[in-house]
């Protein structure tokens, strides 16, 4: 502490009031204070330093056996030399000793802070807490690690908020981030160890601009309030080939970090062959739970992407002409301004158009959707300019091009909605998969005979049946555990889909029924002795669109025979039979229905089945939750920051995700920004860099 600090001045003044702090006499006293007259060779020197107000000069036996002067502290037994070395050692002792024995009143004005509940308390600046908040902010908002080392940031904080704020170096912030990461990781490990349900994983691989590959592992589970939680468990570098062995090794290292290898119910991966082969390695280690019936899940959104891409290839020529037109219009500022005036003459607001990324079909859908309102204006302007430049008419836009675009947008709307629905974070997606498959199959059947897009629809249907002609067991069980549908409703949904796509699901229904009782027996052995108390009735949620199909279903004899067949299939599953016996009714409990809360509420009635249902409903059917981390990491590992170590990348990615999970903000993803890139691009709203001059 600085000896010039007001603390010491106040403390010394108090000492003057309470103690006799006058120093030794100028000439009448020797070092011993005996009053002896000094000799002609020596002359007493006045002790002028303020440290002597805290020390007495006394004679003591020295280490060499002689008697001589020592400086003895007035507050503690310690004593020091007085003849050599000045008073620096005495001042250092005073700085440590005085605060322990002299109480100095705080003369600074007390600062108050108001809490959200209206209460008011005193506020004190805490440098450690300020650094922690700064590190959290840097991770949450993808700021550079040296953000706190900026003199302009310090000037902003000290001028507007806190005078005591100090510059935080890059090294200090890095250490704070690592400390925060380890603390939060330990807390997450403890939380996972106390779960009563299993954990579902998603995983994917990403190539960074720094020429480093990363593998992301994301965990999904239910917390104590029966809410779905999503946490990134690991963001590890892949320093080797993407083989099944290496993928298995990296994922396993993440699971061992949290000690959850024995709690994994499923892993959702994309369709890469190496991912499929890695599943066998997990099975050899006996990692899958529930008999491995749900362990390997293919990403539903990847399958939808493959289905749509197969159709886009069939209409690529027409879409390519529209893409070329809007790209050509926006490639020149004078041309874009002229197009803006052309829009105004046609009674439309001038706007920009974003071209798509062919590898992302949803961008093609958004591009076409936002162009349709301007179809005649784009065609008129583009064709006029082509004619002026002497280009052949074959390159012009035709009404058929726009008709295909319009029909294809209407057609793709169902697939787009399915992708958005199955990419959700905070609600079950396994119970939504069959509903989306039903609606997509209905759309394929509707447009199969269309003259202009029929070939595209047939190609999509072929790809669709390749992956979903055999219904995944998870999707089926996700519908069965819906108390409004159950097994009888599943049979009708599969029958409806089979009729639309010429698929026979009858044998699969029998297989699904048998597997259902096998899985239930596994859970019965594990949770058979658990009993819970009843809870209040849950709230209700709106139903998906496909429920209109179920509402048309009559309670006929086929539903009754299905229930009786189910009861006789496995007499040992009394609880499961009791659940399936109730006649399903699509009109019952249709408003604000929360399936997870329903199973929590009725766990006292179905203690075993409730565990099975909650495990099923927590499994995601897509890897989007892992892919979203890549969008975040793309902002972290940007070209200016590609020198970040892989360890620091994981720290930043995980802290950001965990902080967003704490605020339930993980559904606010880049998808919203992605949509905005294609919509609301009107130049009169100030969003465009080039304003149209009217």
CA distance 300 to 622: 5
558 band by pLDDT with thresholds 50, 70 and 90: very low
Q: Residue written as tokens 């990615």?
A: 653
State the average pLDDT over residues 124-152. 86
Burial of 331 (0-12, 13-18, 19+ CB in 10 A): exposed
Phi, psi of 244 (to 5 degrees): -60, -40
Q: Are 653 and 234 in contact (CB under 8 A)?
A: no
Q: What pLDDT, on the 0 to 100 scale, is given for residue 181?
A: 96
Query: CB count, 10 Å around CB of 62?
Result: 12
pLDDT tens sequence across 340-361: 999 999 889 998 888 888 777 8
Interhelix angle for 399-422 vs 433-447, to 10°? Answer: 170
Q: What pLDDT, on the 0 to 100 scale, is given for residue 560?
A: 43
603 band by pLDDT with thresholds 50, 70 and 90: confident
Using alpha carbons, select from 429, 428, 435 the residue that is nearest to residue 599.
428
Q: Is 488 in a helix, a strand, or coil?
A: helix
233 Rama sector, left if φ>0, alpha if ψ -120 to 50, beta otherwise: alpha
Better pLDDT: 600 or 163: 600
Q: Residue written as tokens 């003044």?
A: 13
State the average pLDDT over residues 62-80. 85
CA distance 313 to 331: 25
20 band by pLDDT with thresholds 50, 70 and 90: very low
Q: What pLDDT, on the 0 to 100 scale, is given for residue 590?
A: 57
Q: Are 135 and 176 in contact (CB under 8 A)?
A: yes
Q: Are 658 and 642 in contact (CB under 8 A)?
A: no
Q: Is 223 in a helix, a strand, or coil?
A: coil
Average pLDDT of the chain to the nearest whole number: 80
Burial of 166 (0-12, 13-18, 19+ CB in 10 A): middle
- The DSSP annotation for 116-135 comes to TTS-EEEE---HHHHHHHHH
566 band by pLDDT with thresholds 50, 70 and 90: very low
pLDDT at 306 over 60: yes
pLDDT at 34 over 50: no
pLDDT tens sequence across 452-472: 889 999 999 999 999 999 999
- CA 176-181-187 angle, to 5 degrees, is 130
pLDDT tens sequence across 643-688: 788 899 899 999 999 999 998 887 654 466 667 777 777 776 654 3
pLDDT at 31 over 50: no
Q: Are 120 and 110 in contact (CB under 8 A)?
A: no
pLDDT tens sequence across 212-254: 888 999 999 999 888 999 999 999 998 888 899 999 999 999 9
pLDDT tens sequence across 430-444: 999 999 999 999 999
pLDDT at 632 over 70: no
Q: What pLDDT, on the 0 to 100 scale, is given for residue 74?
A: 87
Determine which helix (DSSP H) or strand (DSSP E) holds 181, and give its type and residue range: helix 170-193
pLDDT at 427 over 80: yes
């Amino acid at each position: 502490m600085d000896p010039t600090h007001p603390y010491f001045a106040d403390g010394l003044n108090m000492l003057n009031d309470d103690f006799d702090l006058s120093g030794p006499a100028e000439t009448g006293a020797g070092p011993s204070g005996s009053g002896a007259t000094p000799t002609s060779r020596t002359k007493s020197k006045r002790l002028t330093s303020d440290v002597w107000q805290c020390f007495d000069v006394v004679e003591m036996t020295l280490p060499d056996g002689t008697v001589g002067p020592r400086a003895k502290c007035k507050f503690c037994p310690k004593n020091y030399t007085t003849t050599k070395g000045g008073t620096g050692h005495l001042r250092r002792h005073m700085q440590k000793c005085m605060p322990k024995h002299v109480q100095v009143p705080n003369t600074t004005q007390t600062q108050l802070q108001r809490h959200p509940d209206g209460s008011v308390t005193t506020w004190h600046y805490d440098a450690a807490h300020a650094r922690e908040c700064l590190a959290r902010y840097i991770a949450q908002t993808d700021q550079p690690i040296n953000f706190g080392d900026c003199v302009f940031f310090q000037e902003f904080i000290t001028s507007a908020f806190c005078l005591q704020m100090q510059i935080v170096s890059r090294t200090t912030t890095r250490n704070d981030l690592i400390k925060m990461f380890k603390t939060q990781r330990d807390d997450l490990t403890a939380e996972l160890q106390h779960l009563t349900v299993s954990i579902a994983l998603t995983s994917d691989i990403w190539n960074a601009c720094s020429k480093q590959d990363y593998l992301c592992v994301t965990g999904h589970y239910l917390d104590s309030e029966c809410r779905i939680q999503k946490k990134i468990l690991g963001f590890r570098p892949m320093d080797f080939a993407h083989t099944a062995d290496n993928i298995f090794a990296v994922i396993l290292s993440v699971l061992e970090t949290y000690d959850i290898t024995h709690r994994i119910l499923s892993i959702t991966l994309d369709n890469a062959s190496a991912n499929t082969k890695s599943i066998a390695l997990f099975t050899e280690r006996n990692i899958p739970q529930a008999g491995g019936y749900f362990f390997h899940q293919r990403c539903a959104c990847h399958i939808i992407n493959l289905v749509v891409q197969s159709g886009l290839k069939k209409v690529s020529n027409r879409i390519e002409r529209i893409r070329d037109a809007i790209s050509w219009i926006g490639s020149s500022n004078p041309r874009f301004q002229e197009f803006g005036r052309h829009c105004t003459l046609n009674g439309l607001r001038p706007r920009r158009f974003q071209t798509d990324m062919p590898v992302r079909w949803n961008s093609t859908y958004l591009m076409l959707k936002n162009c349709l309102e301007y179809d005649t204006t784009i065609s008129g302007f583009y064709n006029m300019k082509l004619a002026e430049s002497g280009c052949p008419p074959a390159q012009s836009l035709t009404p058929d091009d726009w008709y295909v675009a319009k029909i294809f947008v209407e057609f793709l709307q169902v697939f787009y909605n399915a992708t958005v629905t199955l990419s959700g974070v905070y609600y079950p997606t396994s119970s939504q998969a069959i509903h989306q498959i039903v609606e997509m199959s209905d759309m394929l059947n509707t447009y199969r005979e269309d003259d202009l897009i029929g070939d595209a629809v047939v190609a999509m249907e072929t790809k669709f049946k390749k992956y979903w002609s055999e219904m995944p067991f998870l999707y089926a069980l996700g519908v069965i555990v819906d108390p409004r549908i159950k097994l009888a409703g599943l049979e009708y949904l599969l029958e409806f889909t089979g009729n639309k796509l010429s698929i026979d699901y009858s044998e699969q229904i029998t297989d699904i029924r048998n597997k259902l009782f096998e899985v239930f027996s596994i859970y019965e052995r594990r949770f058979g002795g658990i009993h819970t108390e009843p809870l209040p009735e849950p709230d209700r949620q709106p139903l998906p669109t496909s429920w209109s199909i179920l509402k048309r279903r009559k309670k006929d004899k086929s539903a009754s025979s299905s229930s009786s067949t189910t009861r006789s299939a496995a007499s040992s599953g009394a609880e499961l039979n009791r659940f399936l016996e109730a006649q399903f009714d699509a009109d019952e409990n249709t408003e604000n229905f929360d399936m997870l809360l329903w199973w929590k509420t009725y766990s006292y009635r179905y203690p075993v089945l409730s565990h099975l249902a909650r495990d099923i409903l927590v499994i995601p059917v897509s890897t989007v939750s892992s892919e979203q981390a890549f969008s975040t990491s793309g902002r972290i590992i940007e070209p200016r920051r590609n020198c970040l170590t892989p360890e620091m990348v994981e720290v930043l990615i995980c802290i950001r995700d965990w902080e967003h999970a704490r605020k339930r903000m993980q559904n606010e993803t880049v998808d919203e920004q992605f949509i905005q890139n294609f919509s609301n691009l009107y130049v009169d709203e100030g969003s465009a860099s080039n304003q149209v001059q009217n």
